[in-house]
Amino acid sequence: MATFVMQSLGCEVAALNTVHFSNHTGYRQFKGTRATAQEISDLYQGLCQSNLTDFDVMLSGYAPSAAAVESVGTIGIDLQEKAEKKPGSFFWVLDPVMGDQGRLYVNDDVVPAYKKIIPFADLILPNQFEAETLSGIKITSLSTLASAITAIHRIYSVPHVIITSVQLFKLSQSGSTPPPPENFLTVIGSTTRSDGSPRLFRVDIPALDCFFSGTGDMFAALTVARLSEAVSAVNGLRTTKSWVSPDDVAATDLPLARSTVKVLSSMHSVLERTLESRNAELAVAVPALEGEASVEELEKRDYLRRTKAAEVRLVR
Protein backbone atom coordinates (compact mmCIF):
# COMPACT_ATOMS: atom_id res chain seq x y z
CA MET A 1 0.00 0.00 0.00
CA ALA A 2 2.64 2.51 1.10
CA THR A 3 4.99 1.82 -1.82
CA PHE A 4 2.19 2.09 -4.40
CA VAL A 5 0.88 5.35 -2.94
CA MET A 6 4.29 7.02 -2.81
CA GLN A 7 5.19 5.86 -6.33
CA SER A 8 1.83 7.14 -7.63
CA LEU A 9 2.78 10.57 -6.36
CA GLY A 10 6.21 10.51 -7.98
CA CYS A 11 8.48 9.35 -5.16
CA GLU A 12 11.31 6.96 -6.01
CA VAL A 13 10.96 4.21 -3.44
CA ALA A 14 13.42 1.61 -2.15
CA ALA A 15 11.09 -0.74 -0.28
CA LEU A 16 12.39 -3.02 2.45
CA ASN A 17 9.59 -5.43 3.31
CA THR A 18 9.31 -6.28 7.00
CA VAL A 19 6.63 -8.85 6.18
CA HIS A 20 5.75 -10.71 2.98
CA PHE A 21 2.08 -11.63 3.28
CA SER A 22 -0.58 -12.63 0.77
CA ASN A 23 -2.98 -9.96 2.07
CA HIS A 24 -3.67 -7.62 4.98
CA THR A 25 -3.94 -9.53 8.27
CA GLY A 26 -7.21 -7.67 8.94
CA TYR A 27 -8.87 -10.33 6.78
CA ARG A 28 -7.91 -12.86 9.48
CA GLN A 29 -6.67 -15.50 7.02
CA PHE A 30 -3.29 -14.93 5.38
CA LYS A 31 -0.14 -16.77 4.34
CA GLY A 32 3.46 -15.61 4.19
CA THR A 33 6.53 -14.83 6.23
CA ARG A 34 7.84 -12.20 8.65
CA ALA A 35 11.34 -10.77 8.11
CA THR A 36 13.78 -11.45 10.94
CA ALA A 37 15.78 -8.62 12.49
CA GLN A 38 18.87 -10.06 10.79
CA GLU A 39 17.24 -10.03 7.33
CA ILE A 40 16.22 -6.38 7.77
CA SER A 41 19.75 -5.40 8.86
CA ASP A 42 21.31 -7.40 6.01
CA LEU A 43 19.29 -5.61 3.34
CA TYR A 44 20.28 -2.25 4.78
CA GLN A 45 23.95 -3.33 4.89
CA GLY A 46 23.57 -4.22 1.21
CA LEU A 47 22.33 -0.71 0.42
CA CYS A 48 25.19 0.81 2.45
CA GLN A 49 27.93 -1.18 0.71
CA SER A 50 26.68 0.00 -2.69
CA ASN A 51 26.23 3.63 -1.61
CA LEU A 52 22.46 3.46 -2.08
CA THR A 53 21.49 5.30 1.11
CA ASP A 54 21.14 8.90 -0.03
CA PHE A 55 17.48 9.10 1.00
CA ASP A 56 15.45 12.29 1.58
CA VAL A 57 13.00 10.49 3.80
CA MET A 58 12.41 7.18 5.51
CA LEU A 59 8.93 5.87 6.24
CA SER A 60 8.83 3.04 8.77
CA GLY A 61 5.68 1.05 9.46
CA TYR A 62 4.70 -2.34 10.84
CA ALA A 63 7.59 -4.43 12.15
CA PRO A 64 6.78 -7.96 13.29
CA SER A 65 8.83 -8.19 16.53
CA ALA A 66 10.70 -6.10 19.09
CA ALA A 67 13.99 -7.16 17.48
CA ALA A 68 12.68 -6.07 14.06
CA VAL A 69 11.68 -2.67 15.53
CA GLU A 70 15.25 -2.40 16.86
CA SER A 71 16.70 -3.17 13.41
CA VAL A 72 14.45 -0.56 11.80
CA GLY A 73 15.54 1.86 14.53
CA THR A 74 19.21 1.20 13.82
CA ILE A 75 18.60 2.05 10.14
CA GLY A 76 16.76 5.28 11.00
CA ILE A 77 19.47 6.33 13.44
CA ASP A 78 22.22 5.55 10.94
CA LEU A 79 20.51 7.60 8.22
CA GLN A 80 20.04 10.50 10.68
CA GLU A 81 23.76 10.34 11.53
CA LYS A 82 24.76 10.26 7.87
CA ALA A 83 22.58 13.35 7.30
CA GLU A 84 24.08 15.28 10.21
CA LYS A 85 26.71 16.71 7.89
CA LYS A 86 23.87 18.15 5.74
CA PRO A 87 21.32 19.47 8.25
CA GLY A 88 17.70 19.31 7.09
CA SER A 89 18.48 16.75 4.40
CA PHE A 90 16.74 13.75 5.94
CA PHE A 91 13.36 13.23 7.58
CA TRP A 92 12.08 10.08 9.33
CA VAL A 93 8.34 9.47 9.42
CA LEU A 94 7.69 6.74 11.97
CA ASP A 95 4.31 5.02 12.23
CA PRO A 96 4.40 3.29 15.65
CA VAL A 97 2.16 0.38 14.67
CA MET A 98 1.24 -1.30 17.94
CA GLY A 99 -2.53 -1.57 18.29
CA ASP A 100 -5.96 -0.07 17.88
CA GLN A 101 -9.35 0.19 19.58
CA GLY A 102 -7.91 -0.16 23.07
CA ARG A 103 -5.72 -3.22 22.51
CA LEU A 104 -2.19 -4.13 21.42
CA TYR A 105 -1.87 -6.36 18.36
CA VAL A 106 1.91 -6.79 18.77
CA ASN A 107 3.91 -8.46 21.57
CA ASP A 108 4.26 -6.42 24.78
CA ASP A 109 8.02 -6.00 24.23
CA VAL A 110 7.39 -4.04 21.00
CA VAL A 111 6.19 -1.07 23.09
CA PRO A 112 9.52 -0.39 24.87
CA ALA A 113 11.33 -1.03 21.57
CA TYR A 114 9.36 1.83 19.96
CA LYS A 115 9.88 4.06 22.99
CA LYS A 116 13.65 3.73 22.48
CA ILE A 117 13.68 4.68 18.79
CA ILE A 118 11.03 7.44 18.63
CA PRO A 119 13.48 10.09 19.94
CA PHE A 120 15.34 9.75 16.61
CA ALA A 121 12.23 10.25 14.43
CA ASP A 122 11.02 13.57 13.02
CA LEU A 123 7.30 12.84 12.74
CA ILE A 124 5.23 10.08 14.32
CA LEU A 125 1.72 8.97 13.31
CA PRO A 126 0.04 7.17 16.21
CA ASN A 127 -3.67 6.43 16.26
CA GLN A 128 -5.54 7.31 19.46
CA PHE A 129 -4.64 4.07 21.25
CA GLU A 130 -0.96 4.31 20.27
CA ALA A 131 -0.85 7.94 21.46
CA GLU A 132 -2.24 6.82 24.81
CA THR A 133 0.31 3.99 25.02
CA LEU A 134 3.24 6.31 24.25
CA SER A 135 2.14 9.18 26.50
CA GLY A 136 0.78 7.12 29.39
CA ILE A 137 -2.26 9.43 29.29
CA LYS A 138 -5.77 8.11 28.61
CA ILE A 139 -7.49 10.40 26.12
CA THR A 140 -10.94 11.12 27.53
CA SER A 141 -11.34 14.84 26.79
CA LEU A 142 -9.93 17.64 24.70
CA SER A 143 -7.62 18.61 27.55
CA THR A 144 -6.22 15.08 28.04
CA LEU A 145 -5.77 14.94 24.25
CA ALA A 146 -3.64 18.09 24.41
CA SER A 147 -1.74 16.71 27.43
CA ALA A 148 -1.01 13.45 25.58
CA ILE A 149 0.45 15.33 22.62
CA THR A 150 2.49 17.63 24.87
CA ALA A 151 3.79 14.58 26.76
CA ILE A 152 4.82 12.85 23.53
CA HIS A 153 6.78 15.93 22.41
CA ARG A 154 8.42 16.20 25.83
CA ILE A 155 9.22 12.53 26.58
CA TYR A 156 10.53 11.66 23.12
CA SER A 157 11.60 15.15 21.96
CA VAL A 158 9.90 14.40 18.65
CA PRO A 159 9.10 17.68 16.85
CA HIS A 160 6.03 16.60 14.83
CA VAL A 161 3.07 14.40 15.81
CA ILE A 162 -0.17 13.56 14.00
CA ILE A 163 -2.83 11.53 15.79
CA THR A 164 -4.45 9.94 12.76
CA SER A 165 -7.96 9.65 14.16
CA VAL A 166 -9.85 10.49 17.32
CA GLN A 167 -13.58 10.14 17.85
CA LEU A 168 -13.94 13.54 19.45
CA PHE A 169 -17.67 13.35 20.09
CA LYS A 170 -16.97 10.44 22.45
CA LEU A 171 -14.72 12.61 24.64
CA SER A 172 -16.00 14.87 27.37
CA GLN A 173 -15.96 18.47 26.22
CA SER A 174 -14.11 21.09 28.16
CA GLY A 175 -12.56 23.41 25.58
CA SER A 176 -14.19 26.33 23.83
CA THR A 177 -14.28 24.65 20.39
CA PRO A 178 -17.45 22.63 19.81
CA PRO A 179 -17.09 18.92 18.89
CA PRO A 180 -17.97 17.79 15.36
CA PRO A 181 -21.10 15.68 14.85
CA GLU A 182 -21.05 11.95 15.64
CA ASN A 183 -20.28 10.75 12.14
CA PHE A 184 -16.99 12.65 12.01
CA LEU A 185 -13.39 11.66 12.72
CA THR A 186 -10.86 14.20 13.93
CA VAL A 187 -7.19 14.34 13.03
CA ILE A 188 -4.98 16.30 15.42
CA GLY A 189 -1.48 17.40 14.51
CA SER A 190 1.17 19.26 16.38
CA THR A 191 4.55 20.83 15.77
CA THR A 192 6.73 22.16 18.58
CA ARG A 193 7.90 25.75 18.59
CA SER A 194 11.54 26.55 19.41
CA ASP A 195 10.55 26.91 23.10
CA GLY A 196 9.12 23.36 23.07
CA SER A 197 5.45 24.35 23.32
CA PRO A 198 3.13 22.55 20.88
CA ARG A 199 1.33 24.29 18.05
CA LEU A 200 -1.79 22.26 17.36
CA PHE A 201 -4.06 21.93 14.36
CA ARG A 202 -7.28 19.99 13.94
CA VAL A 203 -9.11 18.67 10.87
CA ASP A 204 -12.61 17.13 11.12
CA ILE A 205 -13.54 14.64 8.39
CA PRO A 206 -16.78 12.75 7.69
CA ALA A 207 -16.50 9.08 8.69
CA LEU A 208 -17.66 6.52 6.14
CA ASP A 209 -19.87 3.79 7.55
CA CYS A 210 -17.44 0.95 6.81
CA PHE A 211 -14.37 -0.71 8.34
CA PHE A 212 -11.24 -0.40 6.18
CA SER A 213 -7.90 -2.20 6.50
CA GLY A 214 -4.65 -0.49 5.55
CA THR A 215 -5.77 3.09 6.09
CA GLY A 216 -2.93 3.79 8.51
CA ASP A 217 -0.33 2.80 5.88
CA MET A 218 -2.06 4.84 3.22
CA PHE A 219 -2.22 7.88 5.51
CA ALA A 220 1.51 7.56 6.27
CA ALA A 221 2.54 7.20 2.62
CA LEU A 222 0.39 10.15 1.50
CA THR A 223 1.88 12.20 4.33
CA VAL A 224 5.41 11.50 3.08
CA ALA A 225 4.50 12.59 -0.46
CA ARG A 226 2.43 15.65 0.48
CA LEU A 227 4.77 16.90 3.17
CA SER A 228 7.57 16.72 0.67
CA GLU A 229 5.53 18.85 -1.74
CA ALA A 230 4.44 21.31 0.96
CA VAL A 231 7.98 21.80 2.12
CA SER A 232 9.41 22.13 -1.35
CA ALA A 233 6.70 24.66 -2.19
CA VAL A 234 7.74 26.61 0.86
CA ASN A 235 11.40 26.35 0.08
CA GLY A 236 10.99 27.06 -3.58
CA LEU A 237 13.03 24.19 -4.90
CA ARG A 238 12.91 20.49 -4.20
CA THR A 239 16.65 20.27 -4.69
CA THR A 240 17.29 22.32 -1.54
CA LYS A 241 16.20 19.15 0.31
CA SER A 242 15.19 21.27 3.28
CA TRP A 243 12.70 19.28 5.29
CA VAL A 244 10.35 20.95 7.68
CA SER A 245 11.99 22.02 10.93
CA PRO A 246 10.25 23.55 13.93
CA ASP A 247 11.41 27.02 13.03
CA ASP A 248 10.42 26.70 9.37
CA VAL A 249 6.99 25.87 10.65
CA ALA A 250 6.69 29.02 12.71
CA ALA A 251 7.71 30.99 9.64
CA THR A 252 5.59 29.23 7.04
CA ASP A 253 2.27 28.58 8.73
CA LEU A 254 2.43 24.83 9.33
CA PRO A 255 3.30 22.84 6.21
CA LEU A 256 2.26 19.85 8.30
CA ALA A 257 -1.32 21.14 8.50
CA ARG A 258 -1.48 22.00 4.82
CA SER A 259 -0.19 18.60 3.75
CA THR A 260 -2.60 16.86 6.15
CA VAL A 261 -5.57 18.52 4.47
CA LYS A 262 -4.41 17.13 1.11
CA VAL A 263 -3.76 13.72 2.62
CA LEU A 264 -7.28 13.58 4.04
CA SER A 265 -8.81 14.66 0.78
CA SER A 266 -7.07 11.78 -1.05
CA MET A 267 -7.98 9.35 1.74
CA HIS A 268 -11.60 10.35 1.45
CA SER A 269 -11.93 9.93 -2.31
CA VAL A 270 -10.12 6.57 -2.30
CA LEU A 271 -12.19 5.25 0.62
CA GLU A 272 -15.43 6.51 -0.93
CA ARG A 273 -14.63 4.64 -4.15
CA THR A 274 -13.59 1.57 -2.17
CA LEU A 275 -16.96 1.62 -0.43
CA GLU A 276 -18.82 2.04 -3.73
CA SER A 277 -17.03 -0.86 -5.40
CA ARG A 278 -17.46 -3.04 -2.32
CA ASN A 279 -21.20 -2.37 -2.46
CA ALA A 280 -21.33 -3.01 -6.21
CA GLU A 281 -19.44 -6.29 -5.79
CA LEU A 282 -21.75 -7.47 -3.03
CA ALA A 283 -24.79 -6.48 -5.05
CA VAL A 284 -23.67 -8.69 -7.97
CA ALA A 285 -21.90 -11.58 -6.24
CA VAL A 286 -24.04 -12.37 -3.28
CA PRO A 287 -27.66 -12.18 -4.50
CA ALA A 288 -26.81 -14.83 -7.10
CA LEU A 289 -26.74 -17.30 -4.23
CA GLU A 290 -28.77 -15.54 -1.61
CA GLY A 291 -31.58 -14.03 -3.61
CA GLU A 292 -32.14 -10.27 -3.62
CA ALA A 293 -30.83 -8.54 -0.49
CA SER A 294 -29.85 -5.01 0.46
CA VAL A 295 -26.24 -4.18 1.33
CA GLU A 296 -27.34 -3.65 4.93
CA GLU A 297 -28.89 -7.10 4.95
CA LEU A 298 -25.74 -8.65 3.47
CA GLU A 299 -23.58 -6.94 6.08
CA LYS A 300 -25.73 -8.52 8.76
CA ARG A 301 -24.98 -11.89 7.22
CA ASP A 302 -21.25 -11.11 7.55
CA TYR A 303 -20.63 -10.62 3.85
CA LEU A 304 -18.74 -7.47 4.81
CA ARG A 305 -15.37 -9.03 4.16
CA ARG A 306 -14.04 -8.97 0.67
CA THR A 307 -12.76 -12.54 1.08
CA LYS A 308 -16.32 -13.72 1.61
CA ALA A 309 -17.51 -11.92 -1.51
CA ALA A 310 -14.63 -13.50 -3.46
CA GLU A 311 -15.54 -16.97 -2.20
CA VAL A 312 -19.11 -16.51 -3.29
CA ARG A 313 -18.02 -15.39 -6.71
CA LEU A 314 -15.81 -18.46 -7.14
CA VAL A 315 -18.68 -20.77 -6.23
CA ARG A 316 -20.91 -19.10 -8.77
Q: How many angstroms separate the most distant Cα atoms in the chain?
A: 67
Near ligand ATP in 125-184, by CB under 6 A: 127, 164-165
Near Na ion in 152-191, by CB under 5 A: 164
Q: Which residues of 53-88 are buried (b: 16+ CB within 10 A; e: fewer)?
A: bebbbbbbbbbbbbbbbbbbbbbbbebbeebeeeee
Amino acid at residue number 21: F
Residues in CB range of 183: below 8 A, 6 or more apart: 206, 207, 209
Told to check if 128 binds Na ion by CB under 5 A, we report no
Told to check if 264 binds Na ion by CB under 5 A, we report no
Which residues of 153-290 form beta strands (DSSP E)? Answer: 160-166, 184-192, 198-206
Which of the listed partners (ligand ATP, Mg ion, Na ion, none) does 271 bind, with a CB threshold of 5 to 8 Å by partner kind? ligand ATP
For the chain, how big is the Rg over CA atoms in Å?
21
Near ligand ATP in 14-73, by CB under 6 A: none
Among 99, 189, 198, 216, binds Mg ion (CB under 5 A): 216
Told to check if 210 binds ligand ATP by CB under 6 A, we report yes
Told to check if 216 binds ligand ATP by CB under 6 A, we report yes
Minimum CB–partner distance for residue 216 and Mg ion (Å): 3
Told to check if 219 binds ligand ATP by CB under 6 A, we report yes
Residues in CB range of 149: below 8 A, 6 or more apart: 131, 135, 161, 163, 188, 190, 198, 200
Told to check if 127 binds Na ion by CB under 5 A, we report yes
SS3 217: helix
Point out which residues bind Na ion (CB under 5 A): 125, 127, 164, 216
Give the binding site for ligand ATP (CB under 6 A).
97, 100, 127, 164-165, 185, 187, 205, 207-208, 210, 212, 214-216, 219, 264, 267, 271
Instruction: Using CB under 5 A, list all residues that contact Mg ion.
Output: 97, 100, 127, 216
